[in-house]
Amino acid sequence: MYYEDFELNSLRYTNGRTITETDIVIHAGQSGDFFPHHMDEEWCKTQPFKRRMAHGTLVFTVAVGLTAVAINPVSMTYGYEKIRFTKPVFIGDTIRVKVQISQLKDHKKPGFGLVSELLEVTNQYQELVMICEHILLVQKKQIANG
């Protein structure tokens, strides 16, 4: 999709993905984050949520992965902004992502535009667990067509 093909306020929804204990253990090993909130079931029983929770960075990674459904050779990730983790995600929770095109604007580099996607991640109860803005650098048609 070229920049001109994106439609402001258009929506799409991802499939769901259940977060498992294996996800948490592997993510802890890859990230080095072994905080007890994620790894120590007994300690968590003494805390307000009473159980282990997924790393925010794990939730972010899975959510972004859920949105990646097609290769777009004229687009690339430019960055992420305003990431917020609004509720914890626990082992066994299933997350889904609503993707809304929230902004279209020209980029300083001629022939490119910035497409902002608002990512709203919810659990199986439709509670918001994470929100962020994904910014794409997208080629315009006039450059591609000469």
Q: What is the pLDDT of residues 20-59, one digit of tens each?
A: 999 999 999 999 999 999 999 999 999 999 999 999 999 9
Tokens at 64, concatenated: 């972004």
- pTM score, whole prediction: 0.92
Amino acid, res. 39: M
**pLDDT single digits (tens) 52-88:** 999 999 999 999 999 998 889 999 999 999 999 999 9
82 and 132 Cβ atoms separated by less than 8 Å: yes
Distance of CA 104 to the CA centre of its chain: 19
| CATH homologous superfamily of 3-144 | Hotdog Thioesterase (3.10.129.10)
Dump pLDDT digits (tens) for 81-123: 999 999 999 999 999 999 999 999 999 989 999 999 999 999 9
User: What are the extents of the domains in the chain?
Assistant: 3-144
Distance CA(97)–CA(141), nearest Å, equals 28
> What pairs with residue 134 in β-bridges?
80, 117
**In a 10 Å sphere around its CB, with 0-12 CB exposed, 13-18 middle and 19+ buried, how is residue 17 labelled?**
middle
